[in-house]
Structure 1
């Protein structure tokens, strides 16, 4: 073998595909340092099977892949291909069939190396042996590297011997010898294990005999167990039938209970409808109760206002009582002053009586004293009357002023309350009416949508049930079609292997080239017999030769049909087949006497009647007949298998369509159910909103009624307060002026003091 070409892709510095021709003679590689001369030699060693990354000046075998540079991206694989000239046929037997050998090694980053020879994947060991047989290799002395000459000079005898063996071309034999020795040792170990196994088997024969006897007893006991199991199954079947009858009774009872529950459900639905019908009356009663509550609330407010006015009246009366008590105190002081004056006058009178002025003076003094006492009594009476009148007048005036102010304030409050109630009644009535109308419209729309969604869900559920039923009905058809197609394919493949011609036969028999009509296989085998094993190749020792028809062959007897009409095969058989007739079994004895030399009659079942009187009845099918029958059967099987595959494919397509339809129906059902649930939730929400709005409307109606009643009462109270205020003003105007009363009181006091 000679090197002719080296191709490198992605190996170290050879990033682009590079191809080197190695011509006959001496080939040199020159260049400056770092241009890749050593990488070229390492590529040769690498493709020859080098397994050490250290020999490749790398930290790992993946480092031989170009890793990239400043201007080029790295590669993910590297490949080296070495072309060898094998025209001398010196390669190992496994690779010696080609004139040109291409040995390639490819490494993918992180995936390891792959070796190929002429495109066929091989082991690294095969490549190393191939180069070792050629006195070269990755570590052969023929591959001279830097420093190797100094190593050869300092090498030990064993290393020098290896160099001489490689030069002599027997290095590969040593490798093969080492491998053969390893295999022999492995075979010896296997033989030793075989002997151990045989010893163990011999020792286990007695155990197997005992086990055989145990197996016989086991079969007997198993038969007894099966008999008892059959009895148990019969008993179980009887019990199951009894339980089934009981279950049917329970089912009937459950159906009765179901009917009763359905009746109760109908009654509950009726009760619910009646309750729903009674709901408006209850809402009206609730509205009336709310109206009464509003009326009572307003009445309580009025009572509280009256209580406040009464408390104010009590406070006014308390103030009046305090004023009267102060007046009484002042009058008591005046009375004490008058008494003091009287005592003084009495003293003066007594002094006058004791004086020496005489009786006339005393009488005159007594008269003056009496007159003074009379005037004082009159003055005190007038003063007391004036003080009482003034106090009553002041109290009356204060009470009337307060009463008028209270009534005016009450009238103002009632007017403001009446305006507020009017505004609330107007706002509540308008807002609730509009909202209730909108909610009723939304409820009607939600109800229609829910009914439509329920109808769609029911339709989708029916569609799913129908699609699944159709799929369930189509599944056994598909399974049966696939089983039949698989059975026919298996039978056809098995039969094809049986009837396939022997590939190693140099001269195939004529039987492999013959095709016979179905039913005539036995007739052809009886007519030709072992002659069907002869070939048609002229080089075969026994063969059929194609001869021209001389036209002198006698015709078959009338009533015999030529076998050639039922056989298709090589033309060399035509003359023979023309001299073989097919007859019915009953006609053969009569026609046999009219046969010419070389002619013979056969029946479809394989009976043979020859012209020289030889008769062979049909017995077991001949091998040729079986082979021909199997070939015809194979053709029938091929047709049946094709038809079965077509039917299975049609069934598969139908089943797939049904399955897709079922899936679509299921998805549509899910969507319909989701829509129905959403519509029911929307309807429930709309119903709840409507009920809430109706309750609020009833409350608003009751409140409007209460507000109207309250407005009436407030209007009446306002009129009453205005009338009371007017009456208080009139009474206040009818009272005397306070200045006049004060003048009269002051005059009475001066008179009393004088």
Structure 2
């Protein structure tokens, strides 16, 4: 107490405190100078890096311009190629139209020939029906005649057998007649040769002989009658045989006529079948031609659709590239900024803890207020082994002036800064000078703009340079940039995926177009072959 009274009497009260503060500030200034030299070297390195980046950016811009020019040239060449392809397609279209007109005329001719053939086909079908009916009747008559011929042949064989049997009977009766005549002659000879001695005996003998003779005559008469009957039957059999032979000859002639008629009808049917076959071939050829035309139209339509899809995919790829490039450029710029901020805010080398500035989190817009309240002390760590550090102290129960809000409400800082922040009040810049007179020892007032009013009368405006404020702003910008980087990278990934999908779709569309164009030529050849077949069938009919 005595020392304080003497110091107050001498007017040097608080000198030791101010001396200590001056020493601390001097040490901080020396540290800042060292830090400034490091920052200067770092800035020079960053400047060199930025120069290299600028050179790369200029090269990239030049390459982008060249790429744009090449893309324009490629687009022009593609347009020229498409124009030539369009002209070729128009020529092919005109040629195809002419071919279609020729085919239409041929089709009309074929249709007329078909109608004419159809008109001539009805009588042929009627004739075919009549011929089929006649053929059936002829077959029935032929079968009937064949049956009659077989019956006549059987009767002829039977009559031949009967005639043979009758001839044998006649020969046998003739032999019997000859024998009887011989016996009669012998009997007469014997009778005449016998001597007449006994008339009675002769009479008996004569009677017996006469009886034998009568019997022989009776047998002869019977034999003659049998021979006559056999001859009559033979004549009748021969007559029937002749009639059967005549009938068989007539049936043979009828068979020959019917066979000739059948052959003629078969020839007519073959000719009719040939006409029907030609008409069927013409119809089949026309159906094949229609199928070939449909296949060609389908192939050409597929080519048109493939060209439209290719144009759409190229437009989609062209539209997807600028957003992807823009997102990639934004990500590169933000990554470069983050890299620069990290180099500026890199941790001090050595075992010391990082400065509290790296651990302070403030609300948006309060960085200058916190920097004004803490000053260069913000560079000190909480590590007690460091040359200067925040060791922490109990909060003083002094109340801030009315209208001032403790700065700790707007700041998330280590506990070692609690005592300091509790005695720093946030006020409007217009009220700071008025409330500064109400400050108690150790208290300070700050504003969002960076004004500072201290209890001992010291004041500082935002125009005075404060490295802590810049450092806090850099720290806040680094955190904001890191927060922005994730969504930007997601956007880049999404746009890159869209661009890749558009490019893959364009490649697939080009491949599909090549395949569709490859299918046109075979379809055209098939149509030409079908038209040739139709023409040949029309000429044949």
User: TM-score w.r.t. structure 1 length?
Assistant: 0.36
> Greater relative contact order: 1 or 2 (C-alpha under 8 angstroms, separation 6 or more)?
2
TM-score by length of 2: 0.50
Richer in strand (by share): 1
